[in-house]
A and B are shown apart, each in its own frame.
Chain A
């Protein structure tokens, strides 16, 4: 039971990180109608910058503080140089161009930082464990990720529903021409949203650093999971991104932890381990297919 609680928390932690990625991606998708495969590259850039600064200064927090604006600037530069020319194009062109950007970012990262993985230690004051219920210690850093993610989710909700910027974002999403005609500086708005998305990706990347390895290609793995989240949640919907992310995080983590055990009730241990492992790695895709059969536009159809 305690182990189960731990796995649920692990699932939440993965879900929260996916949400940080999915929120940025779905904002860019919903508002600018731009498919940005290079979103995963921003996640990677954030992690690498933080690992470098932390390695040099010995402080995780300093790494985080530097990585966020640096990644936002990288994102804004990419938007300014390349993506700006693609808003009017169809999705195919966007996929192709941002695929090119991924190749560039991955290769550039391995040129700058080398092919080997970097290590990023979490802050010392979060290195211990917290007893959530008596007798069930849980790593404080992972717990912190969950808390940060939920705070960001609440902040994004307030930003989008309660502030002037959020109003402009919603206006831009539902009718770009009209918002522009009413005097909203769409170009500036786009750049801001893109920078915000980049910063969220960097936050996810930095927090992933101490848990997973900081290496070239880390962005693509999470990018594809993020796509699954967005497809499940519905394109353009932040609420959908949150629900989808938590769902994917939980299904993936619990599937890996328990599918083999459950299958052992029905099959021989060897078969159960083999089938369980492959089913577990496919579980979220099966979930996605199931959701789509039921609701082809995702759980919370936005303005895709």
Chain B
């Protein structure tokens, strides 16, 4: 019953927020105008504004949230760590380095940047886990997190150095992107992100039962016949793919992957298949809402999306930390 309520409230919030987000802007539109335009009716200008300008942005925000939510849910379950998420673990930072390197090398295609970001994310995961293991094991969630934050700081430094001799307008663009933004949305970018989400998400959903078993801990999981190292690597791979795709599309948007798996579990969802889907839904709604706030809070100026999600995420993180990371 509680699970059903989670799905209904989640879907309703997402639809409501998306309609609102498409309606808000320099030319304000009512809910009726928005839906008519989506169906192709109404005057031409409205249809153009909705379909070519606002809808891609809302769709991109929703997909970024869905990807980060699934990535966070998979990492939390596999690492047995309620504070795990791609941003805090340095995975997003690694992806950002990869993407910046690709752009600096002259690769600017919608297909190439996510690939480079994925390579960076994969390298970051490997380093974070190796550092945590060397520093006393993945068993302590704080050691893992510290290792992630360190790798993230290193990634930031690397990006600054890469940008040192870039043209001033490039630097400004890059900084904006490092704070996260879906303002560069177009349908091509939405399409590429959707494709990556479909691949990574389908993989995680297919192996969701293994995440359930991994969440019991290494020895119990091994006693149930699971190849623990191999399964965990597979999850890291797919979670990195999702995180990297969101970074390539919208830059660094932190804390979404931290918050929404807790909403899904707290909403009564059981088993990682449901938790992954629930985190995707909640993540989509959260990022659409955050982008809406980013656009209207200081209109006509825009706030960085990553700053808005951090304002929500940091207090949430502190509450979890105080609760003893169990939650």
A and B physically associate: no
Please report A residues at the B interface, Cβ cutoff 8 Å: none
